[in-house]
Amino acid sequence: MVRRTDAEQNVVGREDKKIDKATSFTKDFNGCSVVAVENDNFYGNATINALENLSYSDEEAQRVKWKTDLILLPLLCICYVFSFLDKTLLNYSSIFGLKEALNLHGSQYSWLGSIFYIGYMIGSMAWAKLVHRWPQHAGKFVSSAVLLWSSITLLTPLCYNFAGIATVRFFLGLVESIIGPVFVIITSNWWTRPEQAFRTAFWLGGTPIGNFIGGLISYGLGSVHSSVATWKLFFVFFGSLSFAFSLVLGYFIPDNQGNARWLTEKEKMIAIERVRENQTVSASDKWKWSQFWEALRDPQTTFFFVCAVGNTMPSTFASQFSSQIVEGFGFSTINTTVISTCPAAVIQLGTFLIFSYIASHRDNIRLYLCILVSIPPLIGASLLHFLPTSNQAGRLAGYYLTYTHTMSWTLNAGLMASNYAGNTKKATASGLVFAGWAAGLIAGPQFFLDNQAPTYELAFKMLSKYNHLKVYILR
């Protein structure tokens, strides 16, 4: 059957002329201007003429969607897992001798978190521009970035002072910054709008999965190799896993639908057509300044940017300070690796899956869900701030409650992927928002004062007040 609606056929009829395969063209679907590009350089054998005459059944479309879900989606998720693991090794190793071995004192450990995200903020804009300029190499960019950051992780044990590890952290952030803005673009170019919320949450679910796996492996490594050099073993082990995955990723991840190894020629065209009907595909490699300025003027961009900064400032404790915080509750170093990660990861992943499923099956509900997932962190941060240090159970419960917080960012990322049409506008908005995400994470570590460890009163006071403010604004 032909998948075009009557309205779309009328639009095609108005464009009744030959179009060069390497040229982009614009159509108007229900008042929405959509840039559609099907050229040999980007899509390979899937040409405009073939797409215009394409006929396929619902079963074929469903098979293409399942192939994409079963192959591409796990690749994105695993990539996010390694991204999380490699950047949070600092957290795991902080209680296994890293601070003492590198003679870190004062605010130097906090600055290692900020420096990482300074590199991340710079890189997020650069990667968005690069992938927009050469979209036909998006998959190669991602796999190369994983190869680079795994190599940087493997080199980290060679550091012996603050200057060395600060340099490593900066370049690690610079390379890892490809994940956010590029994954948003990949999601919007492979899945339809109703499908995007759950898929975005799925690859963002790499954070709790990575936290769970990282906690278990760190517990095992710390148990069998207890010495002052244990922190080095973490970087070598996890860096080697990332390096091996980059080779697998380089083989399987496609640049676009046109060169996906796991799709037949017809399935490639169906994959393109599915997203064209969704009005969001945009594969032009031409930078459009009108879309750039439109993205800057769009109130959504401002909203997403502010939310990104606010959402990530309180999140620093999970990626850099959680081990020290939980150890401060009175647990041993070995037990801390599991207690601080596994239950929290289960809560975080469950929140991701449940709320993203609701968001994908109910319209106009995401902002309300943002309010709902912000309430437990408000309670948790208040418990951590006000309960006495002797109340171990209460403070641990408060710590776990804060882990629904990241779902707010996930919901915002899903909105961002589905609410922008036009490649330049989407690339500009995603780059700015992920730069804001990094800006919040640059500022966050500075609230964790070394002289307040392990209770960090200022940090949890900030977290409590921020969540209260966010609930008020969203309401």
Nearest alpha carbon to residue 440 among 327, 261, 304, 347: 304
Q: Could you tell me the two tokens for 18?
A: 């030959």
* Dihedral sign from CA coordinates of 283, 287, 290, 294: positive
- Phi, psi dihedral angles at 214 (to 5 degrees): -60, -40
Residues 253 and 142 sit within 8 Å (Cβ to Cβ): yes
Contact of 142 with 127, CB cutoff 8 Å = no
More confident residue, 451 or 404: 404
Look at residue 251 and give its three-state secondary structure.
Answer: helix
pLDDT band at 274 (very low <50, low <70, confident <90, very high): confident
Concatenated DSSP letters of 250-294 = HHH--SSGGG-TTS-HHHHHHHHHHHHHTT------S--HHHHHH
14-28, 333-347, 352-366, 378-392: segment of lowest average pLDDT: 14-28
Name which of 186-190, 240-244, 258-262, 283-287 the model is least confident about. Answer: 283-287
Q: Are 108 and 336 in contact (CB under 8 A)?
A: no
- What's the whole-model pTM score? 0.72
Minimum mean pLDDT range among 294-303, 346-355, 455-464: 455-464
Please report the domains of the chain, with CATH numbers, ordered by start residue. 58-474 (1.20.1250.20)
> Of the candidates 417, 71, 422, 57, which has an alpha carbon nearest to the alpha carbon of residue 273?
57
| Segment 306-346, tens digit of pLDDT | 777 767 766 666 677 888 888 888 888 888 888 888 898 89
Asked if the model's pLDDT at residue 452 lies above 50, the reply is yes
Contacts of residue 126, defined as CB under 8 A and 6 or more positions apart, other chains included, come to 177
Pick from 389, 377, 392: nearest CA to 454: 389
- Alpha carbon distances (Å) from 289 to 286, 294, 425: 10, 8, 9
Q: Kindly tell me if the per-residue pLDDT of 26 is higher than 70.
A: no
Arithmetic mean of pLDDT, 45-55: 58
What number of other Cβ atoms are within 10 A of residue 429's Cβ? 28
Residue 340: φ, ψ to 5°: -80, -10
Task: Please tell me the predicted confidence (pLDDT) of residue 147.
Answer: 95
Coil, strand or helix: which one is 115? helix
Nearest to 148 by CA among 246, 230, 82, 217: 246
Report, as an integer, the average pLDDT of 170-176.
93
Q: How far apart are the first and last CA of the chain?
A: 46
Report in angstroms the alpha-carbon separations of 229 from 65, 165, 220, 292, 333: 47, 15, 15, 49, 15
Contact between 204 and 80 under an 8 Å Cβ cutoff? The reply is: yes
Distance between CA atoms of 212 and 348, rounded to whole angstroms?
A: 10
**228 DSSP 8-state letter:** T
In this prediction, residues 225-241 reach a mean pLDDT of: 82
Beta bridge partners of 185: none
- 26 forms bridges with which residues in the sheet? 35
> Whose CA is closest to 242, among 344, 156, 170, 333?
156
- Give me the percent of the chain exceeding a pLDDT of 90: 15
Q: Are 378 and 384 in contact (CB under 8 A)?
A: no
